[in-house]
Structure 1
Amino acid sequence: MGNIFSISLDPIITRCWDCATGQASYICNLEDNLHDLQAEVAGLEELRSDLMSRVRIAEDEQQLQRLNQVEGWLSRAETLINDADQLIVQSPPHVENLCMGGCCSTHPRSSIKFGKQIAKKLKQVKDQKENGDFSDVASKPPLPSATERPSEPTVGLESNFDKVWSCLQKEQVGIIGIYGLGGVGKTTLLNQINNKFHDTTHDYRVIWAVASQDRPIEKVQDQIAKRIGLSNEGWESKSLDEKAEDIFQVLCKKKFALLLDDIWERFDLTRAGVPLPPKENGSKVIFTTRRFDVCCQMQPNMDNNIRVECLPPGEAFRLFEEKVGSETLRMHPDICKLAEAVVEECAGLPLALITIGRAMASKKTPREWEYAIEVLRQSAASVLPGVGKEMYPKLKFSYDCLAEKPKSCFLYCSLYPEDYPIGKDELVDCWIGEGLLDEHTNLSNVRNQGHFVIGSLIDACLLEEGKNKVRVKMHDVIRDMALWIAGESDKEKFCVKSGVQLKELPEAKKWEEVTRMSLMWNQIENLTEVLECPNLQTLFLGRNRLRVIINDFFNFMPMLRVLDLSYNMLEELPVGIAKLVSLEHLNLSWTGIKKLPVELKALAKLKYLNLEWTEHLEMIPQQLISSFSELQVQKMEGCRYGCLLVLEEMEHLKYLNVLTLTFRSASELEKASRFNKFFSCAIESVQLIGFRDSRSLNIMALAKLQHLYSLSLLFCLELEEVKIERNIIEGAGYFHSLRHVYLFGSRYLRDVSWVTFAPHLEVLWIFECIGLEEIISEGKLGEVAELKGNSNLFSKLEILMLENLPKLKTIYHHALSFPQLKEITIVKCGMLKKLPLNSNSAKGQRLVIEGDKGWWKDVEWEDESTQIAFLPSFKPVL
C-alpha cells in the first residue's frame, strides 16, 4: 500500500514544488507570450521591410553605402525573426500539454524550458523593435584606392606593361607617356596598369580619366572630382579655376596616380589643379596619346616615354586566332595558311587583327579567304564588316587632328606601294611640285616646311621613320585608311594600283575625275592607250618595265604637275610630253634614256628635273636646260652626260637652288670649280667616281661648297690619300653643311681623317676599302694644331657603318663622347679590336651596336664599367 501511495503522489508533489519555486509563470503565461511573440514578430518584419526599402533607395538611387549599425540591426532582426518562427512552429505540442486552465502541464519540465525560450525571445524582439528607429540609414561610401575596369585578355602587351610598371617604381619618375598608333593597345595597357593597382596593396589613390578633344581640362576635372569626392550639387556651377583650386587642395595632401587616357595635345596639369609629380610623396601621372610630340611636351625624358609597337608575327597570329576562332581555321587544310596572309596584311595592328578576325569568323571555305586577301590588298572597307564602320573611323581621329596641308600631304603618301621606303627628300619634292606646301621666298624654306610636316606625321604615328632617318614608311593599315579617306572625299579622287603586278593599264569608270594616279611597281611594258584625265595632277609610273610610251599618251593631261618615270627601261621620251604645259616635277632617274627631246622646251613651268643615274644619257640639246627658266632643282648624280657641258647653261638659271653632280676625274672637278655660282650656293650632293687620274685628292675645292650635304667617293681605285691642308682652316674651309659621307671601293686609302673638318657629320658609311687602317689618324691631326684635342669630334654623328675593312685597326685612339650616336654597324673588320668608347660615351642614348658574334666576343674594353655599359647594346647581324 505504502509503495502504491508514494508512487501516485510524486507528480503532484513535484508540480507543487515547481509552482512553489516561481517557475509556474512560464507555464501560465505560455499561451499569452506565444500570441504576443507572433504579434511582435509581425511588427518586426514590417519594421525591417520598411528599413530595407529606405536602404535600397539610398544605395541604388543615391549611390550611398548603408551604415554599419543599420546593417547590424537588419542582420540581428533577420536572425530573431527566423528563431522566433522556429519556436512558433514548435509550440503546438507544448500548448497541448497544458492543463488545469493553462496553469499546469502534463510535462512541466519541458513546458517550463519552452516557456522560458518564448519569454526570452519575446523580450529580444521587443528590444530589437525599440532600437530600430534610424534617422539616417546610409552615408557616402569610403572611396576605394582603385576601381577595377573591364578589360579583355591581351596578347603581346606583357613587355610594355613591365616597362611601365618598372618606371612607376622609380622615385624620380613622376610622369610617364605611353604613345603609339591608333588601335595598337595603349588604352588596354592603361587598363592593365589600373587593374594592377586594384589587385595589389599600395598607398595610391588611383584616378582614371579620359581626355576629351572638346574641353579636355573641364572634362578631366569632373572625372577627378567624382573620384576624390568633390562632385556635388554646387560643383557644376564653379569656374574652371575654382574647380582647379578645390582639386589641388585635396590632391596636394594625397599620394595619387592619375591615369589619363587619350590626350591629343599637351594637357596642362597645373590648370586642371593637379599637383606636378613627382611630389615628395611620390605621386604619378601616366597618360596615353597617339602623338610622340605630346609625350615630349608633357615631359622630355625619353626613357619615360614608352612606345607601344605593333605585334610581331607570332603574337599577331595568336590574337587573330583568338578572334576568328580555332574551329574556323580547322575547317579546311588551306585556311590556316591563308589566315597567315590575312594576318600579314594587318601588319601587327591589334585593332585590325581584332576587327578583321571577327569579320572572318564565319568564313569557312578557302575561296572566301582568298577573296578576303585580295580585298585587303585593295580596300577592305566596302566588303569586310566593321572595317569601314568601326576600324577606320577610330584610326581617322589622328588624321582629323591635322591641319589642312598636312592632311593632303598624308594622303599623298598612300600613292606609294605597301611597305615602300619613301625617301623624305623625294616626298617633299613631290609635295612642292603638287603645290601642297606654302609659298616661300626660297626653296630651302619650303623644303624645311616639308620636313617639318613629315616630322608632324611621324609624331602623330601616321608615318614610321626608317632606320637611317632619310626614309619613312606607312603602316599597311594606315595606308588603307588613307585610301579609304581619299575614296570618301569629294576633292581627292585617287587611282592607286601600285605593287599589284599589273601588266597593262587598269580600267577606270571615270578617268576624268581622277586627280592622282599611282601605277608604280608593276610590270607594265607599253603605254599604247590615250587616257583622258583632264584633272590629273600626279602620275607615278616608276619601277615598271616601260619601254614604249606612245606620242599621244600625254595629250589630255593638261593639269599634270608631277610625273615620275624612274626605274624604267625607257630609251626615249615621246615628243608628246611637250603637251604637259603644267608640269613642274619630272623624274627620269634610273632610266635608259639616251637623249632628251628638244620638245621639252615647252615645259615652261618645270621646277624639278631628276636625271640621276641615267647612265646611257649621251645628248642634251643645246639651250634646253637654260630654257627651263623656273628650274629650282637639277639632279645629275650618276648621269653619263658630262656636267661641264651644262654648267655654263645653268649659270643663267636665276632660281636654281639645288644641284647634284658627279665628277669622274680631278681635272673635271678643277674645271667645274670655276663656275663659282654653283660652288658657292647650289651644289647639295657630289659623287666622285673613278678618279683614275690621281692618287691624291685635294679636297680644298669641295670645302668651298656652302650647302654640300652629301659626299660620296665611289670606286676611286687609285686614290691613296685625301690631303689636309692648313689653308682649309685658315680660309672658310670647314664642311659646315656636310651631313652624310659614303666611301666605297677605295682600295689604297689608309685613313679618312679629313672628315674631322665636317663638324656636323651625322652619317659615315665606309665599305670595301680593303687598305683602310684607321678612320682618324692621330698623326695627321697632330699636324694641324687647331684640331689637336678636338673635344667635338663626331659630336653630331648618329650612324657609323663599317663593312669589309680587313686592315682596319682603329677608329680613333681615344674614347669619344658620341652624344648623338644611335647605331654602329661593324661587319668583316676582324682586326678592329677596340672601340673609341668609355662608360661616358653615348650617355643617355639608346645605342645599338650591330656586328658579327665572333667579333663581339673579342672586343677589348677600356675597363669593366665600359663593358657593362655596352653589353646590352649588341645586336648580331643576320
Structure 2
Amino acid sequence: MGNVFSVSISTKSIAGCCCDCTAARANYLCKLEENRVTLRIDLQKLRELKNDVNRKVDVAERQQMKRLDQVQGWISRVEAMETEVGQLIGDRAETIEEKRLCGSCYPKHCISSYTLGKKVVRKLQHVATLMNEGRNFEVVADIAPPAPMEEIPSGSTVGLESTFDKVWRSLEEEHVGMIGLYGLGGVGKTTLLTQINNHFLKTSHSFDVVIWVVVSKTPYLEQVQNEIWEKVGFCDDKWKSKSRHEKAKDIWKALSKKRFVMLLDDMWEQMDLLEVGIPPPDQQNKSKLIFTTRSQDLCGQMGAHKKIEVKSLAWKDSWDLFQKYVGEDTLNSDPEISELAEMVAKECCGLPLAIITIGRAMASKVTPQDWKHAIRVLQTSASNFPGMGHQVYPLLKYSYDSLPSKIVQSCFLYCSLFPEDFFILKESLIYKWICEGFLDEFDDTDVAKNQGFNIISTLIHACLLEQPLDTNSVKLHDVIRDMALWITGEMGEMKGKFLVQTRADLAQAPEFVKWTTAERISLMHNQIEKLTGSPTCPNLSTLLLDLNRDLRMINNGFFQFMPNLRVLSLSNTKIVELPSDISNLVSLQYLDLSETKIKKLPIEMKNLVKLKTLNLCSSKLSSIPRGLISSLLMLQAVSMYRCGPYDQVVEGSIESYDNESLVEELESLKYLTDLGITIASASAFERFLISRKLMSFTRGISLKMFQGSSSLSLSSFENMKHLYGLSIEDFDSLREIKFDWAPRKGKETMEYSNLNPKVKCFHGLHEVNISRCQMLKNLTWLIFAPNLQYLTIGECDEMEEVIGKGAKDGGNLSPFTKLVQLELNGLPQLKNVYWNPLPFLYLDKIEVVGCPKLKKLPLNSYSANQGRVVIVGKQEWWNELEWENEATLNTFLPSFQAI
C-alpha cells in the first residue's frame, strides 16, 4: 500500500516536556508571537530615537562641536542591537510552519521555541534599557577641542626641497627629539617650517597635535604660552589671567599626555622650555620640537639633537627667482642687460629676500649704466658687513640706498621705531614725519600729506614696507626692520642716534646715560609704570611711549631738559595728568594723548606755541582751560573725536565740549586743516554748523547726549567733504535721520528712489558708531556711504533694521561693499541687516550679541570671499540662524566663534 510512516511518542517524553514548562517559563513559549511583535515595535521606536539623536549630533557637529563619547557609545550599541534583533527574528512575519511549530509539543520544537522566546524577552529588556538611556541625552555634544593641526598659508619653496627632505627624515629618527633650523634672515626658514607643518596634514603619522608658535626677537613667554594653550586647552580670559608659573604647569600636564610636534618660528635667544611648560622631547615621550633661528650658536644653547642649515638657493633657482621679479621686459630692453643681470643676481648670494628685494628694485632699470652702477654699489657695500649679517644687510641696504632722496630714507628709518610686526597707521605716521621736519618744505598741510602718502607708496614698491589687507596701515618685515636698526645703530654718523627697546618687558626706563646722544627714542609696548628724574636729552626729537599700559605717572621735571623734542606720544597709557613742566617743550609739534586717562589739560600747555598736531581721541578728557586751544596758534590737526566723560563741570573751563567757546577757539586757528570733534548739545552743534571752515576740515565728528532731539538732518553734513568717522551716541529721543538735500514735490524728506549724487560728504566715510539711540529704528542713510569699512551699532532698543526696505527703489545700490567689520550689540528688536545677500568683498568679522530676533544674515555662498570671515556670537543665536540655502550654511559653518 505504499510507504506508511508510523510515529510513536512516549508518554514519558510528553510528560517531561510539559513539566519543564512551568508558569514562569511558559511565557517564553506561550507569548513568543506577542513578544516578537512587541520587539519589532520597540525596535522601531529605538530606531526613531536614534535618528533624533543623530540629527542633534549632526547639527552640533556642523557648528564645529564634538559629540560626547557616551552618545557615540549609545549609538553604537543601538546599531549593534538592530543587527542582533534582525538576525534573531528578522523583519518578516512568521511562516505557517513556524506558527505550527510554536504550538507543537514535540520536544525538539518545544526546546527551540523556548530558547527563541527567552532571547526575545532579553532583547526586549535590552531595548527598553537603551530607550531609557537615549531619552536622557539633554546634551549630545560639547565644544570641540582645537584642531590637532592646521594648514598655514605658505609661499613657494623654490630650492628648499632637499632641505625639506632632510628635516623630514630627521623627524623619523627616534633619537632626534629637537631640530634647530638656522640660517640667514630671509633665507626661507619660515617658509620651510610652514611646509613641514602643512605636510603633517598630507601624510599619516602618530602625533596627536602639531603646534605652531611665532616666538619673535623679544620672546613674550606668556604670549607663547597662550598660543600653545589654544591648541591643547581652552584659552579663555580666566586662563590668560593666570601667572606664568600656573600656565606652565597646565601646559606641562596637557603636553605630557600627548605625542606632540612643537614648531617655534623666529627664535633669537635661548628659551627655557620648562619655564614655558614644554616637556623636552626625548626618546621616552617620542615628541618633536623644531625651531628656526638665525644663530647656529642658539642651536647648541637649546640642546638641539640635530642642527640643519637652511642654505641659500643654488644658482639655477636664484636666477629663476630673480628673473621672475625683474621681468622679461626689463631683461630684454638691452642686449647687455641679461649678462649684467646675472652678475647682480649672483651678488644676492642666493638669499630669497635679497633676490626679491633687489629684483624689484631693478625692475624699472632699462639701461646698462643702471645695472653697472648696481653691481658696483653691491660689491663695495658687501665688504662692510659686520658679523653674522655680513651677507645680508648690504644687499637689503641697497634698496635703502636706492631711495630717491634723503627725506625718503629718513622716513623709512623712522618706521623702525615701532615694534616688530606692528601695524603703523599711515596718517599718524605722516603727521609725525611732518612734525619731525621731514616734510616741512611745504606750508600747505595737504601738500605735505600727499607727499607723505607718495613716500609710503615709494617704500612699498621698494619692498621696504609691507601693505597689509587694512590699507590704512603699513608694517615692516622683521628682517627689513633689523636692517634699518642696523643702519641707525652701526652706520657712521647714525650710530647711537636711535634708542629702540620695544616689547622688551621693561618695567622701568633704560639708564639715562643712553638718552644723552639719542635723537629718537622708542620704548613702546613695555610695562613701565612711572617716569622719574630729569634726563638730559639736548638732541632728542621723538619720544614714543605708547602702549605702556601700566604707565600712570610722569614726574614733574622729566621734560625739563628736552628743548628740541618735537614728537611726544603717550597713547594707550594710564596717564592721569601731565606734569606742569611740559611747558618746557617749546619745540613740541606733535602730542598724542589718545586713549589715556587724562581728564584735564594743564594750563602750562599754552607754552607749546609750535604744536601742530594734538590727538585727544577716545581719552577721558572732560576739561580744557579756557583760551588754551586758541593760544596754540600753529595747530593744524586736532582730534577730540569720541572723548569724554561729560558729567563734570570745572570752573573757568570748557566743560564737556558742548560749550560754544570751544567752537570759537577752534575757528580762530589759522592753520587748522584736520579736525575731529565731540559735540554734546544741540546748541553747540548749531554753532558748529555756522562755521563752513570747521566743517570743511572735519574728519571725525561725535555727537553725544543731545537732549530732546527727535530728528537729525543729514543736510547738516553737506559741507563735510572729508568726513572719515561719525559717531552718534546717547540720543534718548532720536527717532529719525532725515534726508532733505533734494526735496521732491514739496516733501520734507528725500525719497530713496531719488538717491541724489549730491550726497557726497559720505563718500569718504569709513567708520560709523551708533550707540544708545533708544528710539532709532533704522540706518538706511548708510546707503550713501559706499566706502564704509567699520560699522558698530550698540544698545539701540528700537532698531529694527539696518538698511530699511524702503531703499529698494533706489536702483542697483549695493551697500557695505567695502565693509571690514560689522558689530551689532544689544539690539533686541533687530530683524534685518539688508533684505538681500551682499558680496562683502573685504569683510573679515561680524559680531552679533544681544540680537535675538536677527535670524538671518545677508550672506550667500559667494559672500565675504566665500566664507573667509569670522562670525562671533552666542551659540544659541547661531543655532537658530536661517540660511539662504545648504551651500551657504556649509560655507559659513567654519567661520563661527562662540562667546
Q: TM-score range by the shorter chain?
A: 0.5 to 0.7
1:776 and 2:803 aligned: yes
For 1:491-536, what per-residue CA distance to the aligned partner results, in whole angstroms no more than 9, with x for missing partners?
Answer: 2621123444545432154533201012344454554422221211
Q: Which residue of 1 aligns with 2:186?
A: 182
The residue type equivalent to 1:706 in the other structure is K
Q: Which residue of 1 aligns with 2:434?
A: 432
Aligned equivalent of 1:587, options 581, 588, 592: 592
SS where residue 414 of structure 2 aligns? helix
Please give the residue correspondences for 1:705-744 in structure 2 after superposition, counting only pairs within 5 Å: 705-725=720-740, 726-727=742-743, 732-734=758-760, 735-744=762-771
SS where residue 796 of structure 2 aligns? coil
Q: Which residue of 1 aligns with 2:486?
A: 484
SS where residue 736 of structure 1 aligns? coil
Q: Which residue of 1 aligns with 2:510?
A: 506
CA contact (8 A) 1:155 1:318 kept: no
Q: Tell me the CA shift for residue 658 of structure 1.
A: 0.6
Distance 2:829 2:468 in 1: 31
Q: Which residue of 1 aligns with 2:683?
A: 667
Aligned equivalent of 1:833, options 855, 861, 869: 855
CA contact (8 A) 1:540 1:563 kept: yes
Q: Which residue of 2 aligns with 1:496?
A: 500
1:767 and 2:794 aligned: yes
Q: Tell me the CA shift for residue 334 of structure 1.
A: 5.7
Q: Tell me the CA shift for residue 562 of structure 1.
A: 0.5
Distance 1:388 1:666, change over 3 A: same
1:537 and 2:541 aligned: yes
**Structure label with greater radius of gyration:** 1
Distance 1:465 1:156 in 2: 32
Distance 1:817 1:513, change over 3 A: same
Distance 1:428 1:649, change over 3 A: same
Distance 1:830 1:358, change over 3 A: farther
CA contact (8 A) 1:608 1:634 kept: yes
Distance 1:322 1:538 in 2: 29
Q: Which residue of 2 aligns with 1:701?
A: 716
Distance 1:584 1:875 in 2: 46
Distance 1:191 1:470, change over 3 A: closer
Aligned equivalent of 2:813, options 760, 770, 791: 791
Distance 2:715 2:881 in 1: 37
Distance 1:391 1:151, change over 3 A: farther
TM-score (norm 2): 0.53
CA contact (8 A) 1:630 1:655 kept: yes
The residue type equivalent to 1:752 in the other structure is L
Distance 1:632 1:320, change over 3 A: closer
Distance 1:720 1:355, change over 3 A: same
Please give the residue correspondences for 1:451-466 in structure 2 after superposition, counting only pairs within 5 Å: 451-454=453-456
1:629 and 2:633 aligned: yes
Q: Which residue of 2 aligns with 1:442?
A: 444
Q: Tell me the CA shift for residue 569 of structure 1.
A: 5.0
Distance 1:322 1:506 in 2: 25
SS where residue 411 of structure 1 aligns? helix
Distance 2:489 2:261 in 1: 29
Distance 1:329 1:546 in 2: 28
Q: Which residue of 1 aligns with 2:162?
A: 151
Distance 1:532 1:711 in 2: 43
CA contact (8 A) 2:545 2:570 kept: yes
Q: Tell me the CA shift for residue 738 of structure 1.
A: 1.5
SS where residue 623 of structure 2 aligns? coil
For 1:121-151, what per-residue CA distance to the aligned partner results, in whole angstroms no more than 9, with x for missing partners?
Answer: xxxxxxxxxxxxxxxxxxxxxxxxxx99872
SS where residue 746 of structure 1 aligns? coil
For 1:644-693, what per-residue CA distance to the aligned partner results, in whole angstroms no more than 9, with x for missing partners?
Answer: 322212223222111111122333322321222112x1111011223333
For 1:151-172, what per-residue CA distance to the aligned partner results, in whole angstroms no more than 9, with x for missing partners?
Answer: 2026999xxxxxxxxxxxxxxx
Q: How many residue pairs are counted as aligned between the two chains?
A: 549
Distance 1:662 1:835 in 2: 33
Comparing 512-521 and 415-424, the one that deviates more = 415-424
The residue type equivalent to 2:667 in the other structure is E
Distance 1:558 1:335 in 2: 45
CA contact (8 A) 1:182 1:394 kept: no
Name structure 1 gaps, 5 residues minimum. Answer: 1-146, 158-180, 193-311, 341-347, 366-384
CA RMSD of aligned residues (A): 4.5
Distance 1:316 1:412 in 2: 42
Q: Which residue of 2 aligns with 1:848?
A: 869
The residue type equivalent to 2:895 in the other structure is F
SS where residue 153 of structure 1 aligns? helix
Distance 1:358 1:583 in 2: 45
CA contact (8 A) 1:665 1:693 kept: no
Distance 1:154 1:739, change over 3 A: farther
Distance 1:394 1:861 in 2: 54
Distance 1:528 1:335 in 2: 33
Distance 2:461 2:166 in 1: 25
Distance 2:464 2:402 in 1: 11
Distance 1:400 1:421, change over 3 A: same
Q: Tell me the CA shift for residue 607 of structure 1.
A: 0.9
Aligned equivalent of 1:604, options 581, 600, 609: 609
Q: Which residue of 1 aligns with 2:784?
A: 757
TM-score (norm 1): 0.54
SS where residue 152 of structure 1 aligns? helix
Distance 2:716 2:398 in 1: 52
Distance 1:737 1:152, change over 3 A: same
Aligned equivalent of 1:647, options 660, 663, 668: 663
For 1:173-218, what per-residue CA distance to the aligned partner results, in whole angstroms no more than 9, with x for missing partners?
Answer: xxxxxxxx934459869999xxxxxxxxxxxxxxxxxxxxxxxxxx
CA contact (8 A) 2:190 2:265 kept: no
For 1:746-789, what per-residue CA distance to the aligned partner results, in whole angstroms no more than 9, with x for missing partners?
Answer: 3432211121222332332223434322111113x36xxxx623
For 1:349-404, what per-residue CA distance to the aligned partner results, in whole angstroms no more than 9, with x for missing partners?
Answer: x9x81424652324569xxxxxxxxxxxxxxxxxxx97545676676676566555
Q: Tell me the CA shift for residue 705 of structure 1.
A: 1.4
SS where residue 664 of structure 2 aligns? helix
Q: Which residue of 1 aligns with 2:694?
A: 678
Distance 2:267 2:572 in 1: 42
SS where residue 495 of structure 1 aligns? strand
CA contact (8 A) 1:320 1:357 kept: no
SS where residue 773 of structure 1 aligns? coil
SS where residue 361 of structure 1 aligns? helix
Aligned equivalent of 2:775, options 727, 748, 751: 748
Name structure 2 gaps, 5 residues minimum. Answer: 1-157, 169-184, 197-226, 232-258, 282-288, 305-385, 647-654, 744-749
The residue type equivalent to 1:534 in the other structure is P
Distance 2:459 2:833 in 1: 37
What percentage of residue pairs aligned between the two structures are identical?
40
CA contact (8 A) 2:521 2:540 kept: yes
For 1:580-615, what per-residue CA distance to the aligned partner results, in whole angstroms no more than 9, with x for missing partners?
Answer: 332211223344545444443433322111233443
Q: Which residue of 2 aligns with 1:53?
A: none
CA contact (8 A) 2:542 2:566 kept: yes
